[in-house]
Structure 1
Amino acid sequence: MSLKYKLGITKPFPCNYLPGQEERLLVAVDSSLHDSEHYGWLMQQGFRRSGNEIYRPHCIACQACQSLRVLVKNFIPSKSQKRLLKRNQLFTVVISEQIKPSYYPLYEQYINIIHSDGSMFPASEQQFQSFTLNDITEQCYIEIWHNELLISVAVTDKIPDGLSAVYTFYHPDYRKYGLGVFSILKQIEMAADLEYQFLYLGYQIAQCNKMNYKDRYNPHQILVENQWQTVNK
């Protein structure tokens, strides 16, 4: 694939993950890159998207963000993940191709109660649409139901070689059920059913408690100096 594409670099700004650090982003501004095929290729180079913006960390003196993808065909759940799957058998999983009006109230509850100390507080419709709507690639929504109550939604991108976990939000009363982990396990199952190679989980940041959980799905690969390296803990 040709590499003659236009990219931009943002000015440094305060890092959302590491206190006292600054971050900057490499942004795929070329509109010809904004389709599913090119986006899949960019994800192989460590990019992600937020809405219709495709970006990759491009910090001067920090390499803390590591792109991580699960090797779907070889994935083996850990003992704790197996226990979680068994415990959550009372829930029903539904795959939706359409966003539903019931999603935003659940998202609003999630942000305003669970993440009231975070950068996304308070929740807003505009913020919600920034990751649930895009013109780049297809999405699906992995719903988790407890009887008639929607308790979790995992927003998931479809790309040529896999799925990409975009964002998961859930009912605050169900925190003890590990719905974030449960949703990732279900995304891995879905990717396997679709015969995809990978589930992309975004950036693993070892020094950040909110972003250092992604290497618990094995085997996985991390992108180091533009080379994917396989890890099996």
Structure 2
Amino acid sequence: MINEPYYILAGEEGFKGRLLDAYLAAGYYRMMHTIFTTHYTQVIIEGAPMPVFWLRTQVQKIKENRKAIAIRRQCALFTITIKKAVVTGEVEDLYSLYYNSIDFSTASTCYNCIHDKDMPNPFDSMMIEIRDKGILIAAGYFDLGQNSIAGILNFYHPAYKKYSLGKYLMLQKIDYALANNIAWYYTGYIGTSFTKFDYKLFPDTVAIEVYLPVERKWVPYEMMGKPGLEGYWANILKDEV
């Protein structure tokens, strides 16, 4: 049951529309120009790989918490642009500032984070730009299906950290989904023993579902929580023995 990360290459149709919806719903996610699935990451916890579980948000069910409302208020004067995804010199300059401010390992350029120069891009992607008086201060990327979007990357100017621009970009992606009658926002995975990915529970855990790989179905996150997911993982390990 516990598999090594498994990758799928795109056919001529790419990973778009209903096909992307189907893969996302089956617990797959973008990795550069492929899609993959996994049950753990290489972050080692107590000598073992850390288990992870895929999340998605049903956007129509969201009731924003106080934090979300406060973020919208403090970012209200910034300018938002949503357009087809590109990686420009301006974007790379911003990413470089972000990259040099973080304390975790990731690609050193925006392009290398989301693209593979040796493979055609099979995704239909959009980007969000946030500007303050014309200056690019944050950018976010997401892929389009027919009834779903998948958040791929968010980054921001470190001088604007107090504005929670990463979460503001998540809110903008949710707004895009709502405006375009898209039901699902896929945010990637969460770790049971690691808090780095907990921001994906924003802005409303009631609207979030988690994928159970044995049953191959989505259930309400609040039905499980991290303790429940840890117990679920322990049972998987028992069955593997």
TM-score, length-scaled by structure 1: 0.80
2:54 corresponds to which of 33, 44, 67: 67
Partner of 1:107: 95
C-alpha distance in 2 between matches for 1:59 and 1:231: 18
Paired amino acid for 2:219: Q
* Corresponding residue SS for 1:102: helix
C-alpha distance in 2 between matches for 1:66 and 1:191: 23
2:112 corresponds to which of 109, 127, 136: 127
* Corresponding residue SS for 2:104: coil
CA 194–170 in structure 1, closer or farther in 2 if over 3 Å, else same: same
Alignment pair present for 1:78 and 2:65: yes
Partner of 2:228: none
CA 220–59 in structure 1, closer or farther in 2 if over 3 Å, else same: closer
Gaps of 5+ in 2: 42-47, 224-241
Contact 2:151 2:188 in 1 (8 A): yes
Paired amino acid for 1:160: Q
CA displacement, residues 154-184 of structure 1 (integer Å, 9 cap, x when unaligned): 0111112111110001101001100011110
RMSD: 2.8
2:38 corresponds to which of 35, 51, 57: 57
Partner of 2:189: 203
Alignment pair present for 1:194 and 2:180: yes
CA 28–65 in structure 1, closer or farther in 2 if over 3 Å, else same: same
> After the TM superposition, which residues 1-233 of structure 1 pair with which residues of structure 2 at under 5 Å, given as runs?
24-29=4-9, 31=11, 34-36=14-16, 37-59=18-40, 64-99=51-86, 100-112=88-100, 114-115=101-102, 117-120=103-106, 123-124=108-109, 127-128=112-113, 130=115, 135-218=121-204, 219-225=207-213, 226-231=216-221
C-alpha distance in 1 between matches for 2:26 and 2:36: 10
Measured after TM superposition, the shift of residue 35 of structure 1 is 2.7
Contact 2:19 2:145 in 1 (8 A): no
C-alpha distance in 1 between matches for 2:109 and 2:71: 31
TM-score, length-scaled by structure 2: 0.77
Contact 1:153 1:170 in 2 (8 A): yes
C-alpha distance in 2 between matches for 1:202 and 1:125: 18
CA displacement, residues 191-218 of structure 1 (integer Å, 9 cap, x when unaligned): 0000000111011113222112212332
C-alpha distance in 1 between matches for 2:28 and 2:197: 16
Gaps of 5+ in 1: 1-11, 13-22
Measured after TM superposition, the shift of residue 222 of structure 1 is 0.8
Which has the higher mean CA deviation after the structures are superposed, 123-132 or 189-198? Answer: 123-132
Paired amino acid for 2:147: D
C-alpha distance in 2 between matches for 1:139 and 1:30: 15
* Corresponding residue SS for 1:90: coil
Contact 1:95 1:142 in 2 (8 A): yes
Which has the higher mean CA deviation after the structures are superposed, 124-133 or 137-146? Answer: 124-133
Contact 1:35 1:136 in 2 (8 A): yes
Contact 1:39 1:136 in 2 (8 A): no
CA 120–30 in structure 1, closer or farther in 2 if over 3 Å, else same: closer
Q: Percent identity?
A: 21
CA displacement, residues 19-75 of structure 1 (integer Å, 9 cap, x when unaligned): xxxx83011246367431323211111101111121000459877211111111111
CA 80–58 in structure 1, closer or farther in 2 if over 3 Å, else same: closer
* Corresponding residue SS for 2:75: helix
CA 88–179 in structure 1, closer or farther in 2 if over 3 Å, else same: same
